[in-house]
Each structure stands twice: as C-alpha cells, then as structure tokens.
Amino acid sequence: MGLLSIIRKIKRKEKEMRILMVGLDNSGKTTIVLKINGEDTSVISPTLGFNINTISYQTISLRSYWRNYFEQTDGLVWVVDSSDLRRLDDCKMELDNLLKEERLSGSSLLILANKQDIRGALTPDEIAKVLNLEAMDKSRHWNIVGCSAYTGDGLLEGFDWMVQDIASRIYMLD
C-alpha cells in the first residue's frame, strides 16, 4: 500500500479538508469565515497576522491554515475585493506568486470575487480577465464565483464547488 493510498484512507475517515484562505487585506476573508459559521458579522476589525479556524460545512470540516501548512493544503481560496479597482494589479501579482508555491500545485483553487453587492464592482468574468485565469496551468482545478460576504450570496455555491472538487481527488476509491 503506497503513501498516497494511506493518506486517502485517513482523509476519508477524518472527513477533513484543509483550506488556505488568502487575499489582500480588506478583501473580506474574516467576514466570509464568520458568515459561513453563522456568527455575527456586524462588527469586524482588521485581522492582524492570521487566524486558524475550523468550519463545519456539510459533513466535512474545513480547516484553514497558513504558509507553514502548504504541504497539507487541499484547497486554496483566493478572496478578491471586486470593488477595489486600484489594487487589482497587486491582487494579480500576489496570486501569481502564491501559485508558484510548489507545495500548492495539487490544490483546488476557488477565487471568490467578493463585494458583488457594491455598485461598480467588477463581475467574476472581468476579475477572471484581470487575473488572467485562462492562462493558468491546465492541470489546476479552478473556479471563480461572485459573492458577497456581507449578504452571504454566492458563498455556498463556491464552497460546494470546492468541497466536491477536493473530494473527487482525495476521497477516490482505491
């Protein structure tokens, strides 16, 4: 029995997926986590450093980690502030740098085009063009979903895709 088979059996038993949620500051990462967990989102202050949280989603635990845990990352959520047009070049550069991390090469990528509830926000298709997602390595599974962390719109659609995509890879039958 190979190491990959052992890892798959363990993950199947644990029903845990490890998710790295990142994005530029003020993109809505904390609000998304709170909204999915059903917690109060009315008063949120900027996060200093990083948070490690566990989200119970369907029958799966989604646990967020930071750089020290790249090797164990099943999925990557990149949160974009769709209304902050001035920082989209920075957003693209940071995503490109993150995707160069070899330890993240097999992880599913969900781009959440957040703040769709704000007038003037770019659509997911426009964000995809700015981030040049079509030029991404064809072996990476990715999806972009418009959402609003404030209203919750689109979050379930995005996480449904991610959970299904990861499950198709790590819970495969031997």
pLDDT of residue 54: 62
What's the gap between Cα 93 and its chain centre? 17
Among candidate residues 84, 83, 65, the one with its CA nearest the CA of residue 75: 65
- CA–CA separation, 128 and 134 (whole Å): 8
The stretch 139-151 carries a mean pLDDT of 95
Please give the residue range of the domain that contains residue 16.
Answer: 3-170
CATH for 79: 3.40.50.300
Model pLDDT for residues 69-85, shown as the tens digit of each residue: 566 788 999 999 999 99
Coil vs helix vs strand at 153: coil
Q: Lowest mean pLDDT of 52-61, 113-122, 143-152, name the range.
A: 52-61
Q: Contact at 8 Å (CB) between 33 and 51?
A: yes
- CA–CA separation, 165 and 34 (whole Å): 23
The HSE-up count of residue 122 (CA atoms within 13 Å, CB side) is 19
Q: Contact at 8 Å (CB) between 66 and 52?
A: yes
- CA–CA separation, 96 and 23 (whole Å): 12
Give the confidence band of 50 by pLDDT, cuts at 50, 70, 90.
low
Task: Inform me whether the pLDDT recorded for 88 exceeds 60.
Answer: yes
Arithmetic mean of pLDDT over the chain: 81
Q: Contact at 8 Å (CB) between 79 and 114?
A: yes
Q: Contact at 8 Å (CB) between 80 and 64?
A: no
Structural domain count of the chain: 1
Structure tokens at 19: 């998710």
pLDDT of residue 2: 46
pLDDT of residue 123: 98
Amino acid at 128: A
pLDDT of residue 154: 97
Percent over 70 (pLDDT), the chain: 73
Pairing of strands 75-81, 54-57: unpaired
